Each structure stands twice: as structure tokens, then as C-alpha cells.
Amino acid sequence: MRIDVQYISSLLSVFLESDTAHITLSVLENAGVKIYTDDRKGLDEKFVFHAQLLVENGLVSDKDLRSDSLNTFGISYNKSGGTIVERDVRLTQQGHDFASALNNKEVLEKLKTELTNAPFRVLFDGSQKLLEHYLTKKLDALLA
């Protein structure tokens, strides 16, 4: 499966738009994120894939600032499949940085069109550089 930057942006925007420091999978689902398969007997693969990327790259953590497995989201696997326990999840500072960059339409569009199929690290670093570039231009205009 390939990284879908628009999908990650949608996930992260739920955190940004929240009035609370932590959200749960129910909040994501209520915001329109597909967590389960259509028959609700399993977890949606696209969600699992991108949730794993968020955890692997330290963009989310639990209340205790741990980010070491899908259990961060309250997801665990056993012989009968995946199970979910409602758990509070938050964006880390790095997660906020990425979310802020993806929340900028110009940055998101450049990543989607110019950096398709790029490794995650390139997407993250590129998003930060693009956002810095756009904000520097804005600051220059304000100071002029």
C-alpha cells in the first residue's frame, strides 16, 4: 500500500480540530474516518496502515507519551483478529508540526503532486521546508 498524504492530512486534522488534548478512535470515526471494514468484522486496512505510520514516526502518543505500537490507538491483535479498546491519543509535537504543514493547502498540494511515492521521511521533511518557505514569504510581506 502506498502512503496517501491526503488521507494522513484528514486523520491529523481531526486532532487539530478537537477541543480536547486527546481523542479516541470513536472521535475519528465520528469525523468520517473509516476504522472498520464495511461488515464491521475487521479493521480497515487503509486506516491500519496509516495509523502504523503515525506511530512508527512518533506523530502520536498515548496519555503517558508512549508511542510504541498500535496499542497507542487501543488496537491489538490476537488469533481472532484485531480488537479495539477506547484509548486517549494525542499528537506529539512532531505530529503537530506535520499536521500544521498539511493543513496549509499549498504545502499539501505540492506534496501530493510533486512528491508522490516519496518515503515518509522525505514527505515530513519536505512539508516542514515548504511550510517554512511559505511562512517566510508571508513574514517578508508583513515586514515590507
Burial status of residue 116 (CB atoms within 10 A of its CB: 0-12, 13-18, 19 or more): exposed
Task: Give the cell for residue 105.
Answer: 493547502
Note the pLDDT of residue 41: 83
> Phi and psi of 34, rounded to 5°?
-80, 110
Note the pLDDT of residue 80: 72
Q: Does residue 6 sit in helix, strand or coil?
A: helix
Helix 93-102 / helix 5-17 crossing angle, nearest 10 deg: 110
Q: What is the pTM of this model?
A: 0.90
Q: What is the pLDDT along the chain (144 residues), one digit of tens a residue?
A: 999 999 999 999 999 999 999 999 999 999 999 999 899 888 999 999 999 999 999 999 999 999 999 999 999 887 777 788 899 999 999 999 999 999 999 999 999 999 989 999 999 999 999 999 999 988 888 887
Q: Tell me if 2 sits within 8 A of 96, measured CB to CB.
A: no
